Amino acid sequence: MADFNKILTPGNFEDGEINVVIEIPTGSNHKIEWDRKNACFMLDRVEPMAFAKPCNYGFIPQTLDEDGDELDVLMVTDQPLTTGIYTKARVLGVMKFVDSDEVDDKVICVPADDRNNGDKYQTLEDLPKQLIKQIEFHFNHYKDLKKPGTTVVKGFEGVESAKEVIKAAIQRWNDAE
C-alpha cells in the first residue's frame, strides 16, 4: 500500500487549499488513525456512541503538529466521507486545541468544490453556529469517561491563523525528514 505522506503534498495552503486524507467519517465512533510506519489505517479504539465525530476527521499529508502526529483536519460535509479517500479542501479556520498538555490543533475546512452547498462556506462564521458548538463540546468532552479534563478547546481562529499553523506543521515535517 502506498504511503500517503510520501505521495500527497499538503496542497497549496497559501492560497487556502489543502489536500486532506479522511480517517474517520462523520457519525463514527471508531477512532481510526493513519499508521505512518505501516502505511495503513488502524482501528485504535472504539469510543462510546455518545462521542461519535460531529464531522469528518482526517489529516494533511506531509505535516506534523506539535504532538508528533500529522496535522488534524475537521472536514465539514453534508454526508460522511469514506476512510482512506483524499480530497482537496478549502481552509476556513482552525480550532486551537490542547490534549493532555500537548498542542493538537484542528484545521477546519470544506471540500474545495462543494457544489451542493453552493460554496457558501467561505469562513468559520459561515458555518452553522450549532455545528461549531457541537465540535467544541465534542472535543472538550470526548475523553471524559477515560481521562476527564485532559482536553481543552482554546478557541476558534480564522484562515490566516490556520495558514500559520499549517506552515509550521509543514516545516516540522521537513525538519524531521
Average pLDDT, the chain: 93
pLDDT digits (tens, 9 = 90+) for 16-72: 899 999 999 999 999 999 998 899 999 999 999 999 999 999 999 999 999 999 999
Q: pLDDT tens, 87-145? A: 999 999 999 999 999 999 999 999 998 877 767 899 999 999 999 999 999 999 998 88
- Determine whether 29 is exposed, middle or buried from the number of CB atoms within 10 Å of its CB (0-12, 13-18, 19+): middle
Q: Please give the annotated binding residues for Mg(2+), written as ranges.
A: 67, 72, 104
First to last CA, the chain: 20
Residue length of the chain = 177
Predicted local distance difference test score (pLDDT) of residue 2: 59
Q: Looking at this protein, which amino acid is placed at residue 69?
A: D
Domain residue limits at 147: 4-176
Number of domains in the chain: 1
Indicate the annotated binding residues for substrate.
31, 45, 57, 142
Instruction: Give the CATH number for residue 38.
Output: 3.90.80.10
CB atoms inside a 10 Å sphere around CB 31: 17
Residue 11 Rama label (left phi>0; alpha psi -120 to 50; beta) = left
Residue 102's alpha-carbon distances to 48, 56, 99, 159, in angstroms, are: 23, 22, 5, 22
What's the predicted TM-score (pTM) here?
A: 0.94
Pick out the residues of the known binding site.
31, 45, 57, 67, 72, 104, 142
Position 5 scores a pLDDT of 65
